[in-house]
């Protein structure tokens, strides 16, 4: 029989769960708890050897945190059968922002990536707290259509989602009303919905091109990128990695670079980017997580002075190995949707002579632990080793 304990929740983990230090000497993640709560929790799994954290379940809130609010969504919750999409809806919005900012600062300081030369900006709140999302993925098992349940891979049937914007909400209602039974091919299928589609494009298991999920914050990011790039003096050419369907490429094309090399995986994103036919842009379809694929880049792409990257949550992965090959590189604009992989990548980028000049967190997804980062790195000096490495790949 697992034991129950009482403790105050101290902070939130990287994945957004409340963290308690227990009288048994261990530290536990407790989903559904919020910093400041005094809770009773049941230990589900003590930490294994070499692990710092164990897992526990919330049994009772003895004293609620002053930051707690009643979630506006009827499906929200941390138990099986509840929607796990917006776990932070239990905290007021200003506390959500505070905890996101705290996590970013903590990671940067722990990794010693912030220097006297770094400007660390305040988090940019989302103008809309509800009705902000322009896309979502729902699941279907042949009978039920809905979102994935907290703590399991079961599906929670839903008939509305208050964080979706109007267009995507309408698509959701039409998608959940459809009879999918005859068409299901796997035990669990997905349906991608986004505001740019209409009902006739609702299909099972058909991946749609990536889109930034919050229109207001996307506009903010685009303006920020335009301003950041306009300050660069040497605007010969730029390499954009993880360009998607050209959301940022269109902004870059207005920033007086001579050539823009835009690389993206072979899929729906690059197809859209090619169709856009943006002046001065050279789209390149390639798997950026395969280092050997760098050979597919045109030689001129190794002569860029600026690099802009916006990788998925996994971070740069093998694509970071291109940095030492760019002998003329002096500015990196790194847009990240995962502070943990961002910090890991920055440790490598730092070894290449770059310093973090500016960083700002931005809240793209209210009521979740996700936080986006906008950053600029500049190089201290161009290392002769970098030039050598580049010559090697060109042979």
Ligand X SMILES: C[S@@+](CC[C@H](N)C(=O)[O-])C[C@H]1O[C@@H](n2cnc3c(N)ncnc32)[C@H](O)[C@@H]1O
- Give the binding site for ligand X (CB under 6 A): 210, 212, 242-244, 247-248, 264-265, 267, 269, 287-289, 310-312, 337
- Catalytic position from the list 136, 140, 161, 337: 337
| DSSP summary character for residue 168 | H
- Closest Cα partner for 213 from 370, 393, 392? 370
Closest distance between ligand X and the C-beta of residue 376, in Å?
16
Beta carbon nearer to ligand X, 191 or 211: 211
Return all residues near 83 (Cβ < 8 A) that are at least 6 apart.
Answer: 73, 75, 76, 77, 146, 147, 148, 149, 150, 156, 158
Q: Are 252 and 227 in contact (CB under 8 A)?
A: no
* Whether 83 is catalytic: no
What's the rounded Cα separation, in Å, for the pair 283 and 301?
11
What is the DSSP code string of 17-60?
-EEEE-TTS-EEEETT--TT-EEEEEEEEPPPTT-SEEEEEEEE
CA distances from 42 to 35, 82, 104, 321, 328 (A): 17, 19, 29, 45, 56
Q: Minimal distance in Å, beta carbon 263 to ligand X? A: 7
Query: Looking at beta carbons, which residue is closest to ligand X?
Result: 244
36 or 244: whose CB is closer to ligand X? Answer: 244
Nearer to ligand X, 102 or 190 (CB): 190
CB 62 within 8 A of CB 73: no
CB of 247 to ligand X, least distance (A): 4
Quote the least distance from Cβ 78 to ligand X, whole Å. 27
Q: Give the shortest CB-317-to-ligand X separation in angstroms.
A: 7
Helix (H) or strand (E) holding 331: strand 331-336
Shortest Cβ distance from residue 77 to ligand X (Å)? Answer: 28
In the bound state with ligand X, the residue whose beta carbon lies nearer, of 278 and 288, is: 288
Contact 356, 346 (CB under 8 A): yes
Report the residue number, 158 or 304, with the smaller CB distance to ligand X. Answer: 304
Q: To the nearest 10°, report the CA torsion of 313, 129, 224, 370.
A: -20
- Tell how far CA 264 is from the center of its chain: 17
CA distance 380 to 385: 14
Nearer to ligand X, 232 or 288 (CB): 288
74 DSSP assignment:
T
Question: Going by DSSP bridges, is the β-strand pair 354-362/259-264 parallel, antiparallel, or unpaired?
Answer: unpaired
Name the residues annotated as catalytic. Answer: 337
């Amino acid at each position: 029989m697992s034991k129950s304990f009482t403790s105050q929740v101290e902070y939130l983990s990287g994945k957004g769960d409340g963290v308690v230090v227990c009288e048994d000497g261990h530290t536990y993640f407790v989903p559904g708890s919020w910093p400041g709560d005094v809770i009773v929790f049941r230990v589900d799994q003590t930490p294994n050897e070499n692990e710092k954290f164990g897992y526990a379940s919330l049994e009772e809130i003895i004293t609620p945190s002053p930051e707690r609010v009643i979630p506006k969504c009827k499906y929200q919750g941390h138990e099986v059968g509840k929607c796990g999409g917006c776990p932070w809806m239990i905290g007021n919005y200003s506390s959500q922002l505070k905890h996101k900012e705290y996590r970013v600062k903590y990671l940067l300081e722990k990794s010693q990536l912030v220097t006297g030369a770094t400007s660390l900006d305040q988090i940019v709140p989302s103008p809309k707290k509800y009705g902000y999302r322009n896309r979502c993925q729902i699941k279907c098992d042949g009978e039920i259509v809905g979102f994935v349940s907290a703590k399991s891979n079961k599906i929670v049937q839903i008939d509305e989602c208050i964080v979706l914007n109007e267009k995507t909400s309408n698509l959701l209602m039409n998608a959940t009303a459809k009879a999918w039974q005859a068409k299901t091919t796997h035990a669990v299928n997905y349906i991608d919905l986004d505001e740019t589609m209409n009902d006739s494009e609702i299909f099972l298991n058909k991946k749609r091109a990536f889109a930034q999920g919050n229109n207001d914050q996307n506009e903010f990011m685009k303006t920020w990128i335009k301003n950041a790039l306009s300050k660069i003096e040497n605007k010969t050419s730029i390499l954009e990695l993880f360009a998607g369907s050209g959301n940022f490429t269109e902004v870059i094309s207005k920033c007086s670079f001579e050539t823009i090399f835009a690389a993206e995986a072979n899929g729906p994103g690059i197809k859209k980017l090619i169709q856009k036919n943006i002046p001065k842009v050279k789209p390149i379809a390639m798997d950026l997580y395969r280092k050997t694929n760098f050979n597919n880049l045109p030689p001129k792409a190794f002569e860029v002075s600026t690099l802009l990257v916006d990788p998925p949550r996994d971070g740069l992965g093998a694509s970071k190995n291109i940095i030492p090959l760019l002998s003329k590189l002096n500015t990196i604009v790194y847009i990240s949707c995962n502070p943990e992989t961002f910090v890991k990548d920055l440790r490598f980028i730092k070894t290449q002579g770059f310093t973090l000049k500016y960083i700002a967190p931005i809240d793209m997804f209210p009521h979740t632990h996700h936080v986006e980062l906008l950053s600029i790195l500049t190089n201290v000096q161009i290392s002769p080793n970098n030039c050598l490495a580049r010559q090697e790949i060109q042979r």
